[in-house]
Structure 1
Amino acid sequence: MDILRFATAGSVDDGKSTLIGRLLYDTKTVFSDQIDAVERVSREHGDEHVNLALLTDGLRAEREQGITIDVAYRYFATPKRKFIIADTPGHVQYTRNMVTGASTADLALVLVDARKGVLEQSRRHAFLATLLQVPHIVLCVNKMDLVDYSQEVYDAIHADFTAFAAKLRVPDLTIIPMSALAGDNVVTRSTNMPWYEGGSLLHHLESVHVASDRNLIDVRFPVQYVIRPQSDDWHDYRGYAGQVAGGVLRKGDEVMVLPSGFTSRIKSVETADGEVDEAFPPMSVTVRLEDDIDVSRGDMICRPTNMPSASQDIDAMICWMDESAPLRVGAKYHIKHTTRTARTIVKGLSYRLDVNTLHRDEEAQTLGLNDIGRIQLRTTQPLMCDAYSRNRTTGGFILVDEATNRTVAAGMITEPAL
């Protein structure tokens, strides 16, 4: 079975955690002792219904305030597919948490309250999902039970969000009316909305096609570790381990190692279970080459006719995550890109982006906590990179504070300078 990673997003009290709890509860992937604990806490809080949000809101502060603060990861499976859920916060001050949760997602669930319609925060979350190149977006029009399952309310929200999404280049948009609390259109089709002709949320999650979202054209294999066993039986073995970031690797393919530029052919592609005919994203494999050439951690294996840019000048969008100090032009950081680490300096700040209005503040001098902006970097050694829109792995990076070793920013390369 393949794996679908999806993230939730939406304003406070739109029901994100309740929706995830409903998915876990109705698919019977929650242990009975967890249900008993949630029912007990719900009674203690005087809740009329079982508070399914407690299945994901694990922090005490989250339960006391009724909000999501941290990114909660949950796992469940159906006979058709495995799922990894990132329940991300809705508060604007936790934008960095949402960026973290959505950065690896194949699909984003954006929730809106049917009573309130599409809010500023709803647009912000949709924009962040498209900024992070999440290929599939599902707008969940939640709490339809509180508007008497009105088709007119749903149609108005549908038209409003569709018009906004047209500005964001959303590759795939699905809109589903539902009630997470009552279970309408979450796991099974609801009889309360006969006017809705689509499937339930779970049906969409099980059937959405994500295999073609991965880049199978550009071969990208960042070397993570060189395997050289010390045993006498394996003294000639030399393998390069890592996760395939793009393209398809096959035995006999001609490849090039960057930055050295040496070429060779693939002798074998191996996994923990033995040799395989081919490898593709996101498989973790060991690649052996026919020639004994110098390859080390941080190098990139690609095709001689299809290479990433090897650049020291990077133009990127970043989300600033450090609450102790803002980003400043001229500041120096460590940059971690795929398996390579280098030092970098911030050469310039083009603008700070208001994610609510999409306004660009070109007069901005710094980026503070949760700010998003476009910057220029100069690295001490070339990075083998692609635009983030083409490859989310080779186009993404993080900045690390040199003194504290704290991650201060997550970045998306818009274009490597040639």
Structure 2
Amino acid sequence: MSGNKAVAYKGPGKVEIIDTAYPTFELQDGPGVNPANVGRKVPHGVILRTVTTNICGSDQHMVRGRTTAPADLVLGHEITGEVVEVGPDVEFIKVGDICSVPFNISCGRCRNCKERKTGICLNVNPDRPGSAYGYVDMGGWVGGQAEYVLVPYADWNLLKFPDRDQALEKIMDLTMLSDILPTGFHGAYTAGVGVGSTVYIAGAGPVGLAAAASAQLLGAAVVIVGDLNDERLAQARSFGCETINVGAGDPGDQIEQLLGVPEVDCGVDAVGFEARGHGHGSDAKEAPATVLNSLMSITAAGGALGIPGLYVTGDPGAVDDAAKHGSLSISLGTGWAKSLSFTTGQCPVMKYNRQLMMAILHDRIQIGKAVNAKAIGLEDAPRGYAEFDAGAATKYVLNPNGYVKN
């Protein structure tokens, strides 16, 4: 086996389908690969034939040129696949298994992994805790928007689906287990959503919609989603959410019209560092601290904020020099005065993915419908990126090997 096609970042606003190497059980040098990881042996890994691999908003940040990602980086951290080769140290995962791949790469051996903090594994990225496939500064593990991909520590990382036929039947839901469903759930869970909660979710992209569906699963009484994009807000309403267009007025005032009070019990930031402030639609100016400050103002005292939205330490396209290094003008005094709690960082996918798989398999959540999942061929990835960047209310699912039957 020698061939492999993949989606690669070629520069701001541009991705291409390239021919790339078939994976081996040793990390090779390449764009974005940490030099300390080159030559690293992976006998504990497997090679997957990709079943589905999704375009994520985090990928879009790189493609917009808003990170230090190098050209030719193979993209993709939302991966579901069929095992086609196993390394000599793999004991339990077998050829033919169909599995979900948590986007966090973790070893299962370090202190953080043993404490279920798999988003900050200490052993997979030589530069800092935490790693992911196909992502800038994450150790250089090759991305999964490809026909084949290597997954290390397979017995630990892979979530095997219990029945192949059932998995393929529900694949447009199960594909969301690699990232956005656990990430959205993490946002809602860490915000303290429970039975009877009122929840405000900033952002109606796929993660925001996943957070909204998760809040419903957790028993929220009212889920309010805010955004500037009317098409995405309509998608939130399609499964029972209330919505506000934040370009139409102060979010607190609009929340008061819905709830009778200008605040909610729980807040979720599903926007991140490319947040926009005053204005409407494409006219709104970027103001990266806007969402965080807004959430602090509308979350009730003693409440919590879940922050699955991405914030970075290196943003060459930022609005000012401070923001280029991740320093934002956050009103921490507001949060302190209201005794608010904050949870940030990568979602530890393995903390939630098995339970969420069971919720999908037993029809407790229809996440593919909630995020308007649409399967497209690998060759259509550039179009998918462009349409997603333009604000399409769609979660694009790449289907590189024909497993998804339209």
Q: What TM-score, normalized to structure 2?
A: 0.25
Q: Which has the larger radius of gyration?
A: 1
Higher RCO (C-alpha under 8 Å, 6+ residues apart): 2
| TM-score of the two chains, using structure 1 as the length reference | 0.25
